[in-house]
Amino acid sequence: MSKARKSVEWPTLVLLIFCYVVWALATTWAAAWFLPLGIALAIGAGALHSSLSHEVMHGHPFGNSWASEATVFPALTMFIPYLRFRDTHLAHHNNEILTDPYDDPESNYMDPAVWGRMAVWHQMILRFNNTLFGRMLIGPLVSQVGFMGADLRAILGGDRAVLMGWLWHIPSVSLVIWWYVSIATMPLWAGVLSAYFALSILKIRTFLEHRANNNARARTVIIADRGPLAMIFLNNNLHAVHHMHPGMAWYDLPNAFAKDRARYLDCNGGYYFASYAQIFRRYFFRAKDPVPHPLWRKR
């Protein structure tokens, strides 16, 4: 299944250029003509930039990691330091810990004992966050508060890698702020709003990527969508395929799934949705999972 890595992956590089052009036009010409249009385009470009950052951390589009990471240096979504995104995401790719409330950095489940000690108002927020509507509306804020709190504790505990991740974020987000202040016609508040809702779009993808299951291979979803969201997510909706072949480029994922569909669905226990439209109909106002991990056993 694996292919020899090309020295330059042109589809990814061209898409990176397209992303920056759209974002630049969104924050200048489009915003000057009609601000809501500029915001909408900036949201799409920001979400695509995050997906491209995900490609970069898996070794694309260049063979040299420094060259690849330079292509996503500007922090278009403002809130997430690339190095922290990279380190937590690569840790998440240990399939044996998927959904673990402690060891999986991207888990949306909690230890039932911790959940039981929470205040009622806090539980209500997290229950709302477990609907697709809630995940899109408050999910970026809920995630950011938890993420920054954990990183602050790590920094105070002497974790230099976490500290460096945030220090490197300063110039990358400063470049974006400089653009808004000095060049863009879009006001900075609209840029911040665009960045927030770009993360909201990404929450659609991560909403049900993983489920609690005793079989580690059956924890990862396949969503056979081929519409605009799949393009923004760079086919990462075929998430089980990505987890089985994390180094595979985004443009190879659909063919890989099509050629061996039965095997992938057998491996992931049939955790499958036909489209994002199906997910919206089923879970927009209803939770797919409980917040406390349903299969969690005390350590």
Reported as a single tens digit per residue, the pLDDT across 10-68 is 999 999 999 999 999 999 999 999 999 999 999 999 999 999 999 999 999 998 999 99
Q: Which residues pair with 8 in a beta bridge?
A: 62
Measured CA distances, 269 to 22, 24, 215 (Å): 39, 43, 9
68 with 61: CB under 8 angstroms?
A: yes
Reported as a single tens digit per residue, the pLDDT across 223-259 is 999 999 999 999 999 999 999 999 999 999 999 999 9
The per-residue pLDDT for 6 is: 65
Nearest to 74 by CA among 49, 57, 55: 49
The per-residue pLDDT for 278 is: 97
3-state secondary structure of 201: helix
CB atoms within 10 A of CB 189: 9
The per-residue pLDDT for 298 is: 56
Half-sphere CA count of 86, side-chain side, radius 13 A: 23
144 with 150: CB under 8 angstroms?
A: no
59 with 68: CB under 8 angstroms?
A: yes
- Stated pTM of the model: 0.94
Query: What's the token pair of residue 63?
Result: 């063979």
**Residue 8 phi/psi, 5° resolution?**
-135, 125
Reported as a single tens digit per residue, the pLDDT across 158-174 is 999 999 999 999 999 99
